[in-house]
Amino acid sequence: MDKTKKLYESTSYQTAVGIAIVAAVFTVVVAVLLAIHVHAMKAGIPARSAELEKMKEQAKANPTDETLAQLILDTDTQLRRDQFAGLYFVKRGTILLVVTVVLLVGSILWAVSHHPKKPDVRPQGDLKTHQVRQAGLTRTTFSVAVILLCSGALFWVLHAPQTDIVPDDTAATSLYTPMEEMENQWPTFRGPGGLGVCRFENIPDTWDGASGDNILWKTPIPLPGHNSPVVWDNRVFLTGATEDKQQVFCFDADSGQLLWSGDVSIPANPDRDDMDIMEDTGYAACTAVTDGKRICAIFAGGDMGCFTVDGKLLWEKHFGIPDSMYGYAASLTAYEKTVIVQWDVGYEEGDESKSKLIGLDWQTGNTVWETHRPVVNSWSSPTVVNVGDGYQILTTAAPFVIAYDAKTGSELYRTECIEGDIAASAIIAANKIFAIEPYNKLVAVNTENASGNVTETHILWENDSEMPDICSPVANEQFVWTLVTQGLLGCYNVADGEDVYAQEIKGSFQASPTLIGDRMYLLAEDGAMLIVGTGAEYAELKRNELGEKCYACPAFQDGRIYIRGKESIYAIGAGK
């Protein structure tokens, strides 16, 4: 008893206890102060940041207000100072806290060391029973622990939040538009797939620009361009550009009102001054593409922009100035999740060629795939067609007609059959691809069992009549038609390529023909639309005048025609 009392009265013990008490109080004080400081930081800084954000918004609306700009600068600097001062305080406080905790633990250990633990020698029980029971208990609890661990693992697998989705599941595709939906709209140059065939037969055949008969509306287009309108439900899109401005426009299909216009930026590039842009091509020759959720456009300078259909810019991509003789003109197309760019540039063929076909993600603009093309620069547009069990991308550029897998962009087959400056796009009918070599020939390529280089095996026929240099052909199961710029409509048998007729028609044509049931619509440069029959003999059914110059292919959609004139866009429909 005396010994214990002596121990508690010893200076050493009392010093240890004293230090422990002081350290404990100090620890609590430091901890509380830190907690208060941290709370103040957490409450104060975000509130002041919000104020700063508000000021920044005001500055956006009033960019010339220098006082506001200076205030933003000062507030921002002050906030940063406060933030870092606060963090410095927390860091130093933490160090102090650790030191006081160490002191506290050390002093307690010192105090405790004054009465070391004595051996605890209690009488032993039945050692045999204890041993057996101990081993059994260990096995049982260990087994339970293992079972719990396994159950935990299985629970994790079954109930943990999903961190993984396969690329092609429904969640992933819901953001994208299936091809079947695309085929019911006019989403690309020359309509679904780019074939120049309209599914709707209720297209008007009578109108007059001068009197306004059946002209639903006419709206001026803010910027020039030769690209065609594309249509999705009640929205009509087209683009326009000059040397220093490029825009996407969205019009209301019912009223013609310009709903929004979106700028696609032009990066500073000294090469832009050297761009070869023919007047006939212009800065906005490429037709945009829409999937009903987004609209994507590309311009002569290789600048691409994608907007939501409501006009919010999603992304931009700049490929750089294309090496193109007359100005870049390939329209965009799309397949499911990808926007497809036919980037045919330069003058080298084969491995040296700079051309490529690019698949970009609709939502982000990321490159999903990219395939080198062994071709020189061209002005044709890719078409997306359903062949057999899958979709293929058909392209034409000297010297090849090449088909690619629309999903992966990998080359499926090619035919070496065209030369020159290719502007006409490839089309397909009756399992045959039709491609035009300007002025010289029309070629039919069999798509059945085509793989690799099929030049020797799959060219079905060639017709060397006078062929167009700009307009793409159009075809049904029986005939294929070509339209020469100077006004010569050629008709050929799909089966063997034999001439059916060649008809001179009045007018000059840059817009490719469109097939609607048993009628064909041919839009002349002077704005006259010829409607001709699709029989074995030429028959002009109607001619409607618009009264404005037209270069772009019209868009046809459920009872309407949308025609881009040089200055304005027109909607034509029955009943007005």
Partner 1 sequence: MILILWLCCAAGALSIQRFPPPEFETDHVIPTAAQPPAREGVFDLLDVAVLVAALSLASWLVLKKRSRKGVFALMLFSLAYFGFWRKGCVCAIGAIGNVSLALGDASYVIPWVVLAFFMLPLVFTLFFGRTFCGAVCPLGAIQDVVLLKPIRIPAWLETSLRLLAWLYLSLAVLFAVTASAFVICRYDPFIAFFRLSANPALWVISFSMLVIALFVGRPYCRFLCPYGLVLRQVSRISKFRVTITPDECIQCRLCEDACPFGAIEKPTVEWPRDEHPKGRKRLLLLMCLFPVFIAAGAFIGYTLHPKLASVHPTVQLANRVKFEQAGVYKESIDQSKAFYSSGQTLNDLYETANEKKQEFALGGAIMGAFMGLVVGGTLLSNSIFWRRSGYEAQRAGCFACGRCYNYCPQHRVWQKTKKLQMSETDG
Find the shortest distance in angstroms from Cβ 234 to partner 1.
23
Tell me: does residue 49 bind partner 1 (CB under 8 A).
yes
> Is there a contact between 365 and 316 (Cβ–Cβ < 8 Å)?
yes
Binding region for partner 1 (CB under 8 A) out of 90-98, 188-196, 268-276, 380-388 = 90-98
Whole-number Å distance between alpha carbons of 397 and 380: 7
Find the shortest distance in angstroms from Cβ 97 to partner 1.
7
- DSSP for 314-360? EEEEE------SS---PPPEEETTEEEEEE--SS--GGG---EEEEE
Q: What would the two tokens of residue 50 be?
A: 């919000």
Contact residue for partner 1 among 22, 71, 103, 108 (CB under 8 A): 108
Contact residue for partner 1 among 7, 25, 85, 154 (CB under 8 A): 154
Tell me: does residue 50 bind partner 1 (CB under 8 A).
no
Contact residue for partner 1 among 7, 21, 25, 137 (CB under 8 A): 137
Q: Which of 130/506 has CB closer to partner 1?
A: 130
Q: What would the two tokens of residue 13 be?
A: 């013990």
Q: Which of 92/542 has CB closer to partner 1?
A: 92
Q: Which of 1/61 has CB closer to partner 1?
A: 61
| Number of residues near partner 1 (by CB under 8 A) | 78
Angle (nearest 5°) at CA 195 between 333 and 312: 30
Binding region for partner 1 (CB under 8 A) out of 144-152, 255-263, 457-465, 563-571 = 144-152
Amino acid identity of residue 473, one-letter, is: P
Contact residue for partner 1 among 2, 9, 66, 120 (CB under 8 A): 120
Whole-number Å distance between alpha carbons of 432 and 454: 13
Task: Categorise residue 430: left if φ over 0, alpha if ψ from -120 to 50, beta otherwise.
Answer: left
Q: Which long-range contacts (CB under 8 A, 24 or more apart) does 306-312 make?
A: 306/339, 306/362, 306/365, 307/248, 307/262, 309/232, 309/235, 309/250, 310/260, 311/250, 311/259, 311/260, 311/261, 311/262
Binding mask 405-444 for partner 1 (x = CB under 8 A): ---x------------------------------------
- Listed in sequence order, the residues at least 6 apart from 188 whose beta carbon sits closer than 8 Å to its beta carbon are 194, 230, 287, 289, 331, 332, 333, 334, 384
Find the shortest distance in angstroms from Cβ 304 to partner 1.
14
Find the shortest distance in angstroms from Cβ 320 to partner 1.
13
Binding region for partner 1 (CB under 8 A) out of 97-105, 256-264, 267-275, 472-480 = 97-105
Binding region for partner 1 (CB under 8 A) out of 153-161, 179-187, 262-270, 429-437 = 153-161
> Is there a contact between 291 and 343 (Cβ–Cβ < 8 Å)?
no
**Which 240-299 positions form the footprint of partner 1 (CB under 8 A)?**
none
Q: Which of 280/310 has CB closer to partner 1?
A: 310
Contact residue for partner 1 among 7, 135, 278, 541 (CB under 8 A): 135
> Is there a contact between 499 and 453 (Cβ–Cβ < 8 Å)?
no
Find the shortest distance in angstroms from Cβ 135 to partner 1.
6
Q: Which of 21/95 has CB closer to partner 1?
A: 95
> Is there a contact between 401 and 415 (Cβ–Cβ < 8 Å)?
yes
**Which 361-380 positions form the footprint of partner 1 (CB under 8 A)?**
361, 363-370
Contact residue for partner 1 among 22, 68, 71, 101 (CB under 8 A): 101
Tell me: does residue 172 bind partner 1 (CB under 8 A).
yes
**Which 330-349 positions form the footprint of partner 1 (CB under 8 A)?**
337
Q: What would the two tokens of residue 574 be?
A: 């029955």
Find the shortest distance in angstroms from Cβ 100 to partner 1.
10
Contact residue for partner 1 among 98, 278, 539, 541 (CB under 8 A): 98
Whole-number Å distance between alpha carbons of 436 and 434: 7
Closest to 261 (Cα-Cα) out of 299, 222, 287, 217: 222
Q: Alpha carbon of 315 to those of 173, 304, 365: distances in Å? A: 19, 8, 6
Contact residue for partner 1 among 17, 19, 22, 79 (CB under 8 A): 79
What phi and psi, each to the nearest 5 degrees, are found at residue 341? -115, 125
Contact residue for partner 1 among 1, 47, 61, 171 (CB under 8 A): 171
**Which 174-193 positions form the footprint of partner 1 (CB under 8 A)?**
174-175
Distance of CA 224 to the CA centre of its chain: 25
Whole-number Å distance between alpha carbons of 515 and 17: 100
Q: Which of 101/488 has CB closer to partner 1?
A: 101
Give the other-Cβ count within 10 Å of 335's Cβ.
24
Binding region for partner 1 (CB under 8 A) out of 117-125, 275-283, 345-353, 489-497 = 117-125
Closest to 373 (Cα-Cα) out of 354, 391, 389, 360: 354
Q: Which of 87/536 has CB closer to partner 1?
A: 87
Find the shortest distance in angstroms from Cβ 59 to partner 1.
11
The upper half-sphere exposure of residue 55, i.e. CA atoms within 13 Å in the direction of its Cβ, equals: 18
Whole-number Å distance between alpha carbons of 437 and 431: 20
Find the shortest distance in angstroms from Cβ 349 to partner 1.
25
Binding mask 7-46 for partner 1 (x = CB under 8 A): --------------------xx--xx-xx--xx-xx--xx
**Partner residues linked to 306 by β-bridges:** 296, 315
What phi and psi, each to the nearest 5 degrees, are found at residue 462? -135, 140
> Is there a contact between 412 and 369 (Cβ–Cβ < 8 Å)?
no
Tell me: does residue 144 bind partner 1 (CB under 8 A).
yes
